[in-house]
Chain A
Amino acid sequence: MIPMPNLDVLGFLVLATFAVLCGLSVILQKHAVASALSLVGVMGSLAVLYLMLGAEFLAAVQMIVYAGAIMVLFVFVIMLLNSGSERPAKARYFAYLVGIPSLLAFLGVISFFILKELPNTSSVQFGAFTQGGPAPVGRLLFTQYLLPFEVTSLLVLIAIIGAMVLAKKEID
């Protein structure tokens, strides 16, 4: 008799496979809009994974901020720049010859370690965690993680200055 995998594992496998396929599609698509839409797929499946893990606030933020606001901006920028299909770069064979084997080796090593050390596939368990609502997340952000939360604003400020410095028009 084939052991029936429980529903948690099944749900995880479906979503994780979808996320990885969409991620591959982001980098393999030749057209920028198709890549952007694949990215929406990655964000969406991640959001559902968060939701199943009990991080409902994170899931909502993931949908609203990433899949909603940021992706809309991405698509707008792509349309404004009117970028068409990507032209193949030179010296790609080198990248294929070195990059793909090392990527496979890296993934192989990681999956080997995980399969060897954590053979218990049922360690995926949804619903055990219940502290993912806005209140617990907010409490942590404003107490234990106050400093990283506030300092991130400096990071955003630097990004804005950087965009301005690198992209402004010369006024003379």
Chain B
Amino acid sequence: MNSLFPTSADFIRFAPEIVLTVVGTLLMLLEPLTGDGKGEKPQLRWLAIAGLALAMAAAIFAYGDPGPAFNGMLLVDGFGTFFSVLVIGTGLLTVFCAQDYLIREKQENGEFYALLLFSIAGQCIMATANELIILFIGLEISSISSYILAGFLREDRRSNESALKYFLLGSFATGFLLYGVAWIYGLTGSTNLATIQATLAAGGVNPRLLALSAALMFVGFAFKVSAAPFQVWAPDVYQGAPSPVSAFLSAGPKAAAFAIFLRVFTTAFGSMADRWAPVFWGSALLTMIVGNFAALRQDNIKRMLAYSSIAHAGYVMVAVTSHSTVGTAAAMFYLASYAFVNVGAFAVVSYVAAKGEKHVGIGDFAGLAARQPLAALVMTIFFTSLIGVPLTAGFFGKFYIFKAALDAGMVWLTVLGLLNSAVAAYYYLRVIVVMYTHEPSVAVNELEPASSGLQFGWVAAAAATLALGIFPSALLEFASRAAILR
């Protein structure tokens, strides 16, 4: 038996989280010493970017020597590294896309960046967690920072509403998750996923109580990924939160939540897959339908994107339902492509919305192509990817997911999912049409030119979307190798 005391290998495997926490704390400490008097704090912004880049390097370096850390609390493997790099990358993109917004609202300060980094640290813990206690703590670190970020505009009533709803409903869902964890511990005597898997595979555990605890944990996870029927919080939260925060919430925490969802239900509960699959089947279908049909009726673009993010969670649920290595790889690919697209789309929204986020109607996008050609062009790339047009990341994402579903024999779910994506095309195309063909009305605001940082964020997100759409094989091969969860 190994020593119970941590070794250097343990610390290397935990290095990304250590870097993020240290840089986050530094951001808080340096906050009073920085600033140029105009509300801008570029030093802190660059420190946050450097910290995220360093954390990404640490995550990739840690993957050089994969294995468990801290007595099996964490498991650094391809799957965990994939999601760690993904959430850190989402964070980097968010920092670039948030700067114009933060300066405009006079909110660029150390707390924003520190909370962002802490939240990402929690998501990295979730990505590599292999034990229910640390998984829960990682989830709470990520969630509590997200609640605060959602309410970051203290003077704004919508932001307050968003944070309060997110907090109350999120805590409620966490209660379900914890109750499930307690039952699992009572049934198997362990919180380690590998031990639980072995105990359940050996049989002898009461099947009804096991189903009860799996159901309780499903409620907790489904809430975090906004899968139906636990999706009601998402539209209000995404609409009320500051746009860059909505961008981050719909990409980073969602990807990390899917990571733990996949890991728990394919490893610990893997032996009872034929029993949870029907529940997932129904939830996936309901999520797609609710998201797409509600999005059709929205005139507020943030609310529309919120419903669209519910619908996309439904597509990923299809991949989870297939319960295969192909399905897991498809979910990983989809979440990566979706993260870039969504951060980019919300970045354009936050730019068009202008001061105080007053211009968030779809009509405010009228004539954007003439006013700001770059913004309209990248928005078109993002929306075509969300529709799933070939040559964008979204096409291959959907293709792999439905291929995995067909391989698993879920013909009906595939057909209904494809019909859903046809419905979804309408509300995305509507925005593109408004941008390119409608004349801007008199009430449309003058847009200030975007800063170079924001433009870099747009172009980087659009380039990643196209790159994944034209050369998907490199990422997919990595995902396929990493998707074998043990």
Contact = CB atoms under 8 A, between A and B. Distances in A.
B contact patch SS: helix
B133 interface: yes
Contacts of A134: none
A20 B148 CA distance: 32
Interface stretch (B204-212, B299-307, B353-361): B204-212
Given A161-B28, A162-B148, A116 B208 contact: yes
Nearest to B138: A151
Interface residues of A, number: 25
B111 A161 contact: yes
Interface in A154-172: 154-155, 157-159, 161-162, 164-166
Interface string B12-29: 001001000100010010
A74 interface: no
Interface stretch (A61-69, A85-93, A140-148): A140-148
A134 B154 CA distance: 43
A87 B73 CA distance: 46
Contacts of B137: 148, 151-152, 155
B118 A154 contact: yes
Interface string A117-128: 110000000000
Interface stretch (B94-102, B139-147, B268-276, B364-372): B139-147
Interface in A102-148: 109-110, 113-114, 116-118, 143-148
B134 to A, nearest CB: 5
A147 B115 contact: no
B144 A158 contact: yes
B145 A113 contact: no
Given A145-B133, A152-B137, A158 B208 contact: no
A10 B32 CA distance: 60
Interface string A23-62: 0000000000000000000000000000000000000000
A120 to B, nearest CB: 12
Given A148-B133, A158-B141, A165 B212 contact: no
Contacts of A143: 4-5, 71
B14 A147 contact: yes
B70 interface: yes
Contacts of B151: 166
Interface of A: 109-110, 113-114, 116-118, 143-148, 151-152, 154-155, 157-159, 161-162, 164-166
14 contacts: A117-B206, A117-B208, A145-B73, A147-B14, A147-B73, A151-B17, A155-B137, A157-B25, A158-B144, A158-B148, A159-B144, A161-B115, A161-B148, A164-B111
Interface of B: 4-6, 14, 17, 21, 25, 28, 69-71, 73-74, 111, 114-115, 118, 121-122, 125, 133-134, 137-138, 140-141, 144-145, 147-148, 151-152, 154, 163, 206, 208-209, 212
Q: Which 7 A-B pairs have the closest CB atoms?
A: A143-B4, A162-B148, A147-B70, A147-B73, A165-B111, A148-B133, A148-B134
